[in-house]
């Protein structure tokens, strides 16, 4: 079995995974871009945040969590309340295992993230942006800080000021911010453009006393 040896190799591996079959508008289900996901996961590995216990909150089809396993995480929790998405995530993991060496354990949990009570070293998440359900992204951010010492969380770039203030009040600090033109591929009938690019940032947050 092959090992992932480069960021581009990770991006290619993630690009082969399946996205949502019937994305739910209210949940703002969009597939993680493979190159952006690979960039963040590669940097997480360079910072020593992979190779431990990770959790992919609101995992959807599992791209970030599978990426964490490909980067050597010993255990990854895949948490989502959408049974259809979790089924795709499981199939994606089997596909990845057929091509690459994955030694870590995957645990799939069909539940709301509010009901997830395990601890992890690193949280990786691409939550709803809070467009359809106000403050949906805040719920994910709070759970991430309850769950781990380090989190990588995607949010609309326009919310930077809020996120810096919010995590500081929770005894966390933002150590890194990566800005992206996130490609949202046309997934719904009301989409008029094939790809819409949105300003999205990934924030690495860390407990202050960690």
| Confidence at residue 1, expressed as pLDDT on a 0 to 100 scale | 73
E strands in the chain? 53-57, 75-80, 105-110, 122-125, 150-156, 172-185, 195-207
Assign domain 7-207 to its CATH superfamily. Vaccinia Virus protein VP39 (3.40.50.150)
> Could you report the per-residue pLDDT of 31-46, keeping only the tens digit for each?
789 999 999 999 999 9
Please give the mean pLDDT across all residues of the chain.
89
Strand, helix or coil for residue 95: helix
Cβ proximity of 52 and 139 under 8 Å: no
Cα–Cα nearest to 203, from 147, 161, 143: 161
> Is residue 20 over pLDDT 70?
no
**Per residue in 26-47, is it b (16+ CB within 10 Å) or e — as a string?**
ebbbbbbbbbbbbbbbbbbbee
pTM, entire model: 0.91
Strand, helix or coil for residue 68: helix
| Confidence at residue 191, expressed as pLDDT on a 0 to 100 scale | 44
Residue 185's beta-bridge partner residues?
Answer: 195
Name the residue ranges covered by the structural domains of the chain.
7-207
Question: Would you give the end-to-end CA distance of the chain in angstroms?
Answer: 36
């Amino acid at each position: 079995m092959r090992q992932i040896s480069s960021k581009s190799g990770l991006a290619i591996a993630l690009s082969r995974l399946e996205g949502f079959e019937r994305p739910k508008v209210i949940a703002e289900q969009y597939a993680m871009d493979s190159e952006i996901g690979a960039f963040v996961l590669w940097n997480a590995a360079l910072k020593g945040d992979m190779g431990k216990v990770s959790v992919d909150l609101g995992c959807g089809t599992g791209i970030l969590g599978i990426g964490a396993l490909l980067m050597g995480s010993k255990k990854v929790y895949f948490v989502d309340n959408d049974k259809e998405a979790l089924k795709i995530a499981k199939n994606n993991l089997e596909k990845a295992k057929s091509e690459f060496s994955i030694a870590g354990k995957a645990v799939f949990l069909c539940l709301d993230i509010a009901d997830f009570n395990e601890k992890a070293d690193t949280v990786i998440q691409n939550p709803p942006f809070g467009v359809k359900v106000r403050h949906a992204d805040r719920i994910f951010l709070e759970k991430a800080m309850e769950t781990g010492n380090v989190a990588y969380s995607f949010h609309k770039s326009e919310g930077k000021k809020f996120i810096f203030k919010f995590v500081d009040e929770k005894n966390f600090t933002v150590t890194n911010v990566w800005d992206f033109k996130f490609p949202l591929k046309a997934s719904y009938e009301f989409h008029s453009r094939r790809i819409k690019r949105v300003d999205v940032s990934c924030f690495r947050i860390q407990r202050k006393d960690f």
